[in-house]
């Protein structure tokens, strides 16, 4: 018995990151090994054990303002602003707008979280508590709660772009951005949509999040040398650094993209997720669950493990994760693991939490387009337990026909998205037959 599934391609990219305010500058600085980790500016850190972060700097939201949300701009969380900006860029990059798509065939899948209140919101709450005078309170309409609540924050993007199709918000910790790509991919492949905005946004370089992760012992305390703090797979690694930003990819059904003459960056080939329930904070030491996610993604793409050339690793720079991920890669790829280039772009942008998988997926797509593996910077001392090719410190030209992007989250959520080089519709039919 056979069935058919539609092919999915990437036709637009947008990003706001600690190393660039759009996708081209983020990619350029990534290849150059630019480091986005610095002392935190958003709040005072003098008494804090961790005083460093990968913040978005010099971001001006005014250029992205739109009538659909203009009255709410002072009260929008930072992360949502990054997401709106990244989506604006991605749609323009794809040559699409809200009037060029059938609303019910256009959907959205985002990794997002309920951010802490902005200072503007908190100021108004305090003022209301001190002197209850409703006219002095900022004017709120019924959209306000929908724009700042966890489940509905991504709704702001839907409202901006008039998406009327499938809608998903993923809140699966560090795997959210990758799971959002997986959901968008499967939605199009199953015929439920023609175009999906996929990605994630986060703006959690703030007091509560920093304190929480610091108390867990997950953050690097190398405050005196921010540029050296994140060192994935290095023997001297001691934790990750929180980052912030957004990345949005336009996923499109292949025939839909070809009919309108769209530029194609890469093809979305496979996706899989697994769950590890042993611990809420620790990776599975032997990498079994993470390795299974990679193996299933390769199988979903109808590829052989030996066809994978590059992996954008979860690579958090923690003692446990990097060893576990190394073992997982060996489990999934066997002897071929030694031939795969593996890099952690978190070494440059930090850990973007709910948007981590989104920015890493975007960088993986660009690695395929330009046939180059991004570096893992700050790699100076080899760890005997991390024994793969981590593309140390300098980007490397590389033939990349297929690549994986991994996200392994607190809570046990593991996800792998697989992209491959697009070689034209003649190489494989626009609709694949699966036996």
Q: What residues are annotated to the active site?
A: 174, 314, 351
Q: Round to whole Å and give the CA distance between 15 and 261.
A: 23
CA-closest candidate to residue 149, choices 117, 189, 194, 188 = 117
Shortest CA distance to 328 belongs to which of 364, 302, 291? 291
Query: Is the Cα torsion angle 11, 17, 22, 25 positive or negative in sign?
Result: negative
Three-state DSSP class for residue 395: coil
Would you call 173 exposed, middle or buried from its count of C-beta atoms within 10 A (0-12, 13-18, 19+)? buried
Beta-carbon count within 10 A of 319 CB: 15
Q: Are strands 266-275 and 396-397 parallel, antiparallel or unpaired?
A: unpaired
User: Residue 142: phi, psi to the nearest 5?
Assistant: -70, -5
Neighbours of 32 (CB within 10 A): 15
């Amino acid at each position: 018995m056979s069935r058919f599934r539609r092919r999915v391609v990437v036709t637009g990219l947008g990003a706001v990151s600690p190393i660039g305010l759009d996708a081209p500058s983020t990619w350029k600085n990534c290849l150059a090994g630019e480091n986005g980790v610095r002392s935190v500016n958003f709040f005072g850190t003098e008494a804090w054990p961790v005083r460093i972060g990968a913040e978005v700097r010099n971001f001006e939201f005014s250029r992205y303002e739109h009538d659909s949300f203009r009255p709410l701009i002072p009260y929008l969380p930072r992360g949502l602003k990054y997401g709106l900006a990244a989506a604006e860029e991605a749609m323009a990059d794809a040559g699409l707008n809200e009037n060029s798509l059938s609303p019910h065939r256009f959907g959205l899948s985002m990794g997002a979280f309920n951010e802490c209140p902005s200072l503007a919101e908190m100021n108004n709450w305090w003022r209301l508590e001190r002197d209850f005078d409703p006219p002095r309170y900022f004017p709120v309409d019924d959209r306000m709660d929908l724009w700042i609540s966890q489940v509905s924050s991504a709704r702001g993007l839907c409202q901006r772009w008039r998406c009327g199709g499938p809608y998903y918000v993923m809140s699966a910790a560090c795997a959210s951005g990758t799971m959002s790509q997986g959901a968008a991919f499967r939605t199009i492949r199953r015929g439920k949509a023609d175009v999906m905005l996929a990605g994630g946004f986060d703006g959690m370089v703030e007091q509560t999040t920093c304190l929480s992760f610091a108390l867990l012992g997950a953050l690097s305390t190398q405050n005196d040398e921010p540029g050296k703090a994140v060192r994935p797979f290095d023997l001297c690694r001691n934790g990750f650094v929180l980052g912030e930003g957004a990345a949005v990819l336009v996923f499109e059904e292949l025939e839909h993209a070809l009919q309108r003459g769209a530029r194609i960056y890469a093809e979305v080939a496979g996706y899989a997720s697994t769950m590890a329930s042993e611990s809420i904070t620790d990776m599975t030491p032997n990498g079994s669950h993470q390795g299974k996610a990679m193996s299933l993604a390769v199988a979903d793409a109808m590829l052989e493990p030996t066809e994978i050339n590059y992996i954008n690793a979860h690579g958090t720079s923690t003692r446990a994760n990097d060893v576990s991920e190394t073992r997982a890669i060996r489990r999934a790829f066997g002897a071929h693991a030694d031939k795969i280039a593996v890099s952690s772009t978190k070494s440059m942008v930090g850990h973007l939490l709910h948007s981590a998988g989104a920015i890493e997926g975007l960088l993986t797509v660009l690695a395929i387009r330009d046939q180059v593996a991004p570096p893992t910077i700050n790699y100076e001392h080899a760890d005997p337990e991390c024994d793969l090719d981590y593309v140390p410190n300098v980007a490397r030209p590389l033939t990349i026909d297929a690549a994986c992007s991994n996200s392994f989250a607190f809570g046990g959520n593991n996800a792998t998205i697989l992209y491959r080089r697009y070689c034209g519709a003649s190489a494989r039919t626009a609709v694949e037959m699966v036996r």
